[in-house]
Amino acid sequence: MVTELPEVVARRQQRILDLARHTGSVAVDTLASELGVTPQTIRRDLNLLARRALLSRVHGGAVVTSGVDNLDREARRQVAAEAKARIGVAAAALVPNGASLFINIGTTTEAIARALVDHRNLLVVTNNLNVADILADRPTIEVVVAGGRVRASDRAVVGALAIDFIRGFRVDIALIGASAVDHDGTLLDFDIDEVRVSQTIIAQARSVVLAADRSKFGRAAPVRIADLTQIDHLVTDRLDDPALTAACAAAGTRVIATEE
């Protein structure tokens, strides 16, 4: 085994970080091809970067996270964009015409909104102004937007006013996202105000659908939203985490995986 010079390793790891920060996530096979090293070398680099809290390891690669700060909206939109589109279609298929819905903040829930545009006679209550933009001009969908403080970074409506507003509704289905899902099934996020709104949405819905691509599984985030006992369906691209699979089974959460 040839020992690499420290400066060679440092340059490669910096390149990995640069790529991850540009796109939001990196894949082992892609990095190995681009950097001309083995997948085993890339996995070792990613593990070292994760131990330094510069990346968070996920199956097949890594995502950018400090554990206390989320990616900006544009970076989140790019992470697993195709997977999110498929998840959106699968989650929208759970929604019957004539249903009342909550849709919370997130790029994955925005993908669900895009998949709902041809539904009929929906009432959609949302704290996501991007969702409102997607659905507001549909003639058979009534959109109600929560009042409160608008967060400039992603156009989320958060805070006490939004919570009080949402408590005035009792809907059929909540379509929610989360920044992270721990191996034990705990849903996590980064912003306390956003979490409180999401908790209220869950409490005021008869059924809850969590939409999350696999990059969210095992990711670190500091604020607890809920656990799987409060989630009726998990819609994802792929679930190959044995612990999380077992947690879903124990909680009675139905898993819908678009790649299976």
What pLDDT is recorded for position 2? 61
Q: Which ranges of 187-229 would DSSP assign to H, the alpha helix?
A: 192-203
Helices 39-51 and 6-23, interaxial angle, to 10°? Answer: 80
CA 228 from centre of chain: 15
**Ramachandran sector of residue 21 (left: φ over 0; alpha: ψ -120 to 50; beta: rest):** alpha
CA 211 from centre of chain: 7
CATH of domain 74-257: 3.40.50.1360
Q: What is the DSSP string of 124-165?
A: EEESBHHHHHHHTT-TTEEEEE--SEEETTTTEEESHHHHHH
In the chain, CATH 3.40.50.1360 covers: 74-257
Q: Which residues of the chain have pLDDT under 70?
A: 1-2, 21-24, 53, 64-80
Mind listing the pLDDT tens digit for each residue in 161-214?
999 999 999 999 999 999 889 999 999 998 888 899 999 999 999 999 999 998
CATH of the structural domain 6-64, one choice from 3.40.50.300, 3.40.109.10, 1.10.10.10, 3.40.718.10: 1.10.10.10
Q: In this structure, which amino acid lies at residue 91? A: A
In the chain, CATH 1.10.10.10 covers: 6-64
Phi, then psi, of 188 in degrees rounded to 5: -135, 155
